[in-house]
């Protein structure tokens, strides 16, 4: 059954209303807001990296408020334990005697804000691995499903700062996007000073319900991904294992992430087809944390983003032996 264009157009309007509301929460970060919403529509987790005070936490709280999701916040610190995230069994009196009863931790929410995630030890960071991949938590052999939808939006300070731990590669791969939060311009700072006060909460209006948001997520899944676009995604990810600047390339999860994010971007534009431009628009935030450069490459000042851009220029959009398969609109 083909996707109705009117449905996609209606969902696109709802998404644009959400983006407009979030732009009213976080000033001067329109590109960042659009990418964060793209990641959510692709059902992905997002890692936000930037210096303290740039509004990362405010953006996450704004998402929860504008969509009407249950949100929990964890401040990651060096002494945080895995059970502080997942929850712990507690010995309680029950009608049948004393038993261990599982007390759910803050991970049981629609939206989990993992604030300054790289300030916790690797052992504690890894407590999120099962939740991010399987949408559940297993404690003492019992598996507990998480609410739907479930997103982790983590913030981290650049690892050059003291007191931080690099995230394990397995956990980085579970983030759909890694997004850099740039500093504010002078004009944006003036707007913040004129409209905000220290310690005051930002007023936000709910523009979507959880039910409507879930409908949008289902519509994203139905967006058509042409074979030529899927082939381009496959060749782009495969190129990360061939490029001499890269020591370790991206996993198949990167290809799935590119496909989902491209579909999300197509819906945001009101289209029933994902195209090459959709892939290019999300390729850098999808790949930068999934490629590990050789030491020689890094000391030359070349970044993963530079390598990803170069790959997009080298890999042709459409091979000669694959005919176009775009769906008629």
3 state SS of 60: helix
- Contact call for residues 231 and 319 (beta carbons, < 8 A): yes
Domains 1-222 and 223-320 are alike in CATH topology: no
CA distance to 157, 237, 260, per residue, from 319 (Å): 41, 15, 22
DSSP state of 327: P
Q: Name the token pair of 57.
A: 């936490």
Cα-flanking dihedrals φ and ψ of residue 277, to 5°? -60, -35
Task: Return the DSSP state at 58.
Answer: H
> How far, in Å, CA of 23 to CA of 9, rounded?
21
Q: Can you tell me the distance from the alpha carbon of 122 to that of 236, in angstroms, rounded to the nearest whole number?
A: 30
Query: Is the distance from CB of 278 to CB of 262 less than 8 angstroms?
Result: yes
pLDDT tens figures, 72-82: 999 998 899 98
How does pLDDT run across 228-257, given as a tens digit for each residue?
Answer: 999 999 999 999 999 999 999 999 999 999
Nearest to 7 by CA among 218, 254, 188, 310: 218
The CA distance from 67 to 65, in Å, is: 6
Angle at 74 between CA 73 and CA 79, to 5 degrees: 170
CA distances from 324 to 83, 226, 228 (A): 51, 8, 6
CB 115 within 8 A of CB 73: yes
Q: Which of the four pLDDT bands, split at 50, 70 and 90, describes residue 17? A: very high
pLDDT digits (tens, 9 = 90+) for 87-134: 888 888 777 778 878 889 999 999 999 988 888 888 888 888 889 989
Tens of pLDDT, residues 24-52: 888 888 999 999 999 999 999 999 988 77
**Spans of all domains in the chain:** 1-222, 223-320
Q: Given this structure, which CATH class describes domain 223-320? A: mainly alpha
CATH topology of domain 1-222: Rossmann fold (3.40.50)
Task: State how far the alpha carbon of 173 is from the alpha carbons of 23, 83, 142, 178, 225, in Å.
Answer: 28, 23, 26, 10, 23
Looking at 68-146, list the stretches that DSSP marks H as alpha helix, in order from N- to C-terminal side: 83-86, 122-125, 129-134
Tens-digit pLDDT profile for residues 278-296: 999 999 999 999 999 999 9
Query: Can you tell me whether residue 83 is helix, strand or coil?
Result: helix
Q: What 3-state DSSP class applies to 29?
A: coil
pLDDT at 322 over 60: no
The kind and range of the H/E element at 89 are strand 87-94
């Amino acid at each position: 059954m083909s996707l109705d264009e009117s449905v996609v157009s209606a969902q696109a309007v709802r998404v644009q209303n959400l983006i407009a509301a979030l732009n009213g929460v976080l000033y001067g970060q329109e590109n960042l807001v659009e990418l964060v919403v793209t990641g959510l529509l692709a059902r992905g987790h997002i890692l936000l990296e930037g210096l303290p005070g740039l509004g990362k936490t405010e953006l996450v709280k704004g998402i929860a408020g504008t969509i009407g999701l249950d949100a929990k916040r964890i401040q990651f610190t060096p002494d945080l334990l895995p059970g502080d995230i997942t929850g712990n069994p507690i010995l309680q009196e029950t009608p049948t005697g004393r038993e261990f009863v599982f007390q759910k931790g803050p991970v049981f929410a629609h939206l989990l804000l993992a604030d300054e995630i790289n300030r916790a030890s690797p052992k504690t960071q890894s407590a999120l691995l099962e939740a991010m991949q399987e949408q559940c938590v297993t404690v003492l052999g019992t598996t507990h499903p998480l609410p739907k939808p479930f997103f982790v939006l983590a913030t981290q300070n650049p690892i050059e700062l003291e007191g931080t731990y690099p995230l394990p590669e397995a956990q980085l791969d579970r983030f759909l996007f890694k997004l850099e939060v740039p500093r504010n311009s002078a004009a944006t700072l003036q707007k913040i000073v004129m409209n905000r006060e220290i310690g005051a909460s930002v007023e936000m209006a709910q523009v979507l319900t959880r039910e409507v948001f879930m409908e949008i997520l289902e519509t994203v899944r139905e967006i058509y991904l042409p074979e030529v676009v899927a082939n381009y995604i496959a060749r782009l990810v495969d190129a990360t294992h061939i490029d001499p600047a890269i020591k370790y390339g991206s996993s198949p999860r990167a290809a799935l992430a590119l496909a989902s994010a491209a579909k999300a971007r197509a819906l945001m534009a009101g289209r029933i087809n994902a195209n090459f431009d959709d892939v290019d628009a999300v390729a850098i935030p999808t790949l930068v944390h999934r490629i590990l450069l050789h030491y020689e490459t890094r000391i030359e000042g070349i970044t993963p983003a530079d390598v990803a851009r170069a790959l997009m220029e080298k890999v042709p959009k459409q091979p000669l032996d694959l005919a176009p398969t775009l769906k008629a609109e």
